[in-house]
Structure 1
Amino acid sequence: MLTLGNIFVLMLFATAGAWLWHAHGLRERALERVKQHCAKLDLELLDGNVALRRLTFTRDAQGRKRLARIYNFEFTVTGEQRHPGTITMFGAHTAQIELAPYPFEIKTPPPSAEIIQMNEWRQSHQKLKP
């Protein structure tokens, strides 16, 4: 027979389970946002995961204090060095993604037939003048 104490313990376990299920869903959402951000910047997310660093009260864009989850992750540019990053989530909404300084190379498009170098154009037109 169920007593009031047993029902309380069952409700406590159900609440803890629901909270863990919800937290896992938020972690998966943070992971998806980090993957999108890394893909946009042409970075590689290492280990394919984010790790909860802490739960804290942080100010949002309007200056109000809200409960935030801060996750850590690592990324690489060259495949040789690991760089840390963090993502701050207010519930299911992304507050910010911070990346540590990392080296990157400036990609210049290869010259094509449509691009005319100004120096070459000047030299060819100076020869044509009498």
Structure 2
Amino acid sequence: MLTLENLFIFMLLGGVAAWLWHSHGIRERALAAVRQYCKRQDIEWLDENVAFRRLALVHDRKGRRRLARLYGFEFTVTGERRHQGCITMFGPHPGHIELEAHPFDAEAEAEPPANVIQLDEWRRSRD
């Protein structure tokens, strides 16, 4: 026979299952946001995974405190060391992404683009 206590337990279990299902969808959106961010920043996202860290009250872009899920991930720039990153999710919407201080590839920055002509070479070719 279905009692009020059994009904409460079923509703509680159903609520927990719905919350877990919803959390999985938010995690999938966090994965997509981190993948896109790492491509834009030209860094390598390690393990292609995000890990739930905690629920916290965080300020959003408008300065309001909102309940957010914080997910952590790892990345590398040089391939030698792992660095930590964190993405904040406000419901299904990504917030800010923070990266640990990391080195950048100085050799790639120092090389001039292929279409740049050096002035002294141009003068020699014109003489």
1:111 and 1:65 map into 2 onto residues whose CA distance is 48
- TM-score under structure 2 length normalisation: 0.87
Aligned-residue identity in percent:
57
2:117 aligned partner: 116
Residue 118 (structure 1) shift: 0.7
Of stretches 2-11 and 41-50 in structure 1, the one that deviates more from structure 2 is 41-50
Structure with the higher strand share, 1 or 2: 2
Of stretches 10-19 and 92-101 in structure 1, the one that deviates more from structure 2 is 92-101
Could you list the per-position Cα deviations for residues 46-96 of structure 1 after superposition, in whole angstroms to 9, with x for gaps in the alignment? 122111111011111111111011111100122221010000111111110
- TM-score under structure 1 length normalisation: 0.85
Of stretches 71-80 and 100-109 in structure 1, the one that deviates more from structure 2 is 100-109
Q: Any residues of structure 2 matched to 1:1-130 within 5 Å, and which?
A: 1-105=1-105, 106-107=108-109, 108=111, 111=114, 115-123=116-124, 128=127
Change (3 A) 1:44 1:124: closer
1:43 and 1:52 map into 2 onto residues whose CA distance is 21
Which one has the largest radius of gyration? 1
Partner SS, residue 48 of structure 2: coil
Where in structure 2 are there 5+ consecutive unaligned residues? none
Change (3 A) 1:110 1:5: same
2:61 and 2:40 map into 1 onto residues whose CA distance is 23
1:64 and 1:110 map into 2 onto residues whose CA distance is 44
Q: CA RMSD in A?
A: 1.8
Which residue type is aligned with residue 67 of structure 2?
A: L
1:6 and 1:120 map into 2 onto residues whose CA distance is 86
Which residue type is aligned with residue 62 of structure 2?
A: Q
Which residue type is aligned with residue 117 of structure 2?
A: I
Where in structure 1 are there 5+ consecutive unaligned residues? none
Which residue type is aligned with residue 49 of structure 1?
A: N
Which residue type is aligned with residue 116 of structure 1?
A: I
